[in-house]
Chain A
Amino acid sequence: MVSPKGEISKEVADAAKMCFQCGTCTAGCPSGRRTSYRVRKIVRMAQLGLKEEIINSDELWECSTCYTCVERCPRQVPIVDIIIDLRNIAVAEGHMRPQHKGTATNLVKYGHTVDVKDNISKLRVELGLPEVPPTVLANEAAKADLDKILKATGFCKIVQE
């Protein structure tokens, strides 16, 4: 498991090494077609260990994780895994967008990524569904278990920072 310690992990660096910079990934990337994001460049920067440049860039967050590049890469570079690991490093070093912090806060608060709305709860009853979905929302002990996991893995810290 990657535990971001501030450096690009050996796993990510090794995975990136497989890349021979053909650009197939960028050519089929729907985000690259619409923004200045170039996935080939991110992989190159990872090869070169340019950590600061990567974690300070908006581009790192412009991938929709659609996996098109992974499907087409002739070197089987695990591109999305690399991006995920790099994002983990960025977050561990305090680079997180407020909107993403909002999503993370929802997880801590509700155990779900979105909040509970009254009109939906009412509609659930009308549909014959339990008003509260039978998830952690309906069981405090289960929510407490999830909270322990979030705490033990350092997630709550991300939200507080």
Chain B
Amino acid sequence: MAKYAFFLGCIAPLRYPGIEKSTREVCAALGIELVDLKDASCCPAPGVIRAFNKKTWLAAAARNLALAEQQGLPIVTICNGCYGSLFDAAHELAEDPELLAEVNKILAEIGMEYKGTTKVHHFAEVLYNEVGVEKIKAAVKKPLDYQVAAFYGCHFLKPSEIKQVDNPENPHILDDLIEATGAKSMPRKQKTLCCGAGGGLKAAFGDVAKKFTETNLENMKASGAQFIIDVCPFCHLQFDGVQKDLGYNIPVLHLSQLLGLAMGMDEKQLAFSTHITPVKL
């Protein structure tokens, strides 16, 4: 049985607990053991905290990585932002012994050390590579017949030189995972266009962020999608939160929620009540 340290991040547990709940249920059903990464903090967010103070970002990320290292477990995240931060920090620290030594001086103040061994994975990538589409198909109890839009986001795939998850310009793994439930992933224009929320844009230039989202929504609607399926609570929050203002009404589900639905979880357990754009099945 594959075993991972479950890194919660911020938005899922504190805004969309249904994403956390469905991740736990889906992993249990698929034979992935999740051990809570206790005492972890924010990853910290790659586009804001890293942009404010790189040293803070790296040291706090290293603390999270060290907590997993102490348990001897690889990390799994359900958020592109957490994946971006933790993967990039782990990569930088594994490549640069001087940097690692510098960070360890800071960690020494709290009696910790990071040896540089923690591997970081994204939930969707674990499902695709570790579990496999066939096993997911076999676990589906309630096949879905929706037409949906697959939204990959940015930091799941990029920078592709180090991530190597899928082709960043023309990815397919999320489409394949979605189609394992019976739903149809609709082709559309500009499939890899950013949601707009990252890099501190949502907070400081919300109107600019919204323009990114609007183009995505136009293309999704034109494709005939009835749902938006994301792999990141922050993209999720962006799509879920701005639609009303923009005159759209396409419900947004995290991949874990879509899989939970197909595996027979009830609506209450998926906590659609916290979604801003109403989820009507």
Shortest Cβ gap from A85 to chain B (Å): 7
Please pick, from B50, B199, B269, the residue contacting A127 in the complex, using a CB distance under 8 A.
B269
Interface range, A side = 35 or more
Is A67 touching B154 in the complex (CB atoms < 8 A)?
A: yes
Q: How far is the CA of A87 from the CA of B199 in the complex (A)?
A: 11
Contact present for B14 and A158 (CB under 8 Å):
no
A134 touches B38 (CB 8 A): yes
Q: How far is the CA of A65 from the CA of B271 in the complex (A)?
A: 30
Could you tell me the distance in whole angstroms from the C-beta of A112 to the nearest C-beta in chain B? Answer: 4
Residues of B near A65 (CB, < 8 A) are 46-47, 154-155, 198-199
Contact B211 A99 (CB under 8 A): no
A68 at interface, CB cutoff 8 A: yes
| Chain B residues closer than 8 Å to A61, beta-carbon distance | 199-201, 204-205
How close is B204's CB to chain A, nearest CB, in angstroms? 4
Query: Residue of B at shortest CB range from A78?
Result: B159
Provide the B43-59 mask, 1 if CB < 8 A to any CB of A, else 0: 01111111111111011
Given known A-B contacts A1-B102, A64-B47, A136-B41, A154 and B56 have beta carbons under 8 A apart: yes
Using CB atoms, name the residue of chain A closest to B24: A129
Q: Beyond A135-B8, A148-B109, is A91–B48 a contact (Cβ under 8 Å)? A: no
**CA separation between A115 and B271, bound complex, in Å?**
19
Given contacts A31-B208, A114-B10, A149-B110, contact A84 B17 (CB under 8 A): no
B residues less than 8 Å from A149 (CB atoms): 56, 59-60, 63, 106-107, 109-110
**A116-B208 in contact given A64-B194, A104-B52, A107-B42 (Cβ < 8 Å):** no
Q: A113-B48, A127-B271 are in contact. Are A102 and B56 (CB under 8 A)?
A: no
Interface residue? A26 (CB, 8 A): no
Question: Contact partner of B109 among A62, A117, A124, A152, CB < 8 A?
Answer: A152
- A100, A134, A158: the one within 8 Å of B200 (CB): A100
Residues in chain B near residue A115, CB distance under 8 A = 14
Task: Please name all residues of chain B whose beta carbon is closer than 8 Å to the beta carbon of A34 when the two chains form the complex.
Answer: 208, 211-212
B95 within 8 Å of A by Cβ?
no
Q: B39 at interface (Cβ–Cβ under 8 A)? A: yes
Instruction: From known contacts A65-B199, A113-B48, infer whether A127 and B10 are also in contact, taking CB-CB under 8 Å.
Output: no
Q: Which residues of A contact B42 (CB under 8 A)?
A: 107, 111-113
A-B pairs, 7 with minimum CB distance? A142-B39, A67-B158, A66-B194, A65-B199, A133-B13, A87-B51, A99-B203
Please give the residue numbers on chain B whose beta carbons come within 8 Å of chain A beta carbons, in ascending order. Answer: 8, 10-11, 13-15, 17-18, 20-21, 24, 36, 38-42, 44-56, 58-60, 63, 99, 102, 106-107, 109-110, 112, 154-155, 158-160, 168-169, 192-194, 196-201, 203-205, 208-209, 211-212, 269, 271, 273-274
In the complex, 30 of the A-B residue pairs with CB atoms within 8 angstroms, ordered by the A residue number, are A1-B54, A61-B201, A62-B201, A64-B194, A65-B47, A65-B154, A66-B198, A67-B154, A67-B159, A84-B50, A88-B53, A91-B53, A99-B204, A107-B44, A107-B49, A113-B10, A113-B44, A114-B14, A120-B14, A124-B13, A129-B21, A133-B8, A134-B8, A136-B41, A148-B109, A149-B109, A149-B110, A154-B55, A154-B56, A158-B53
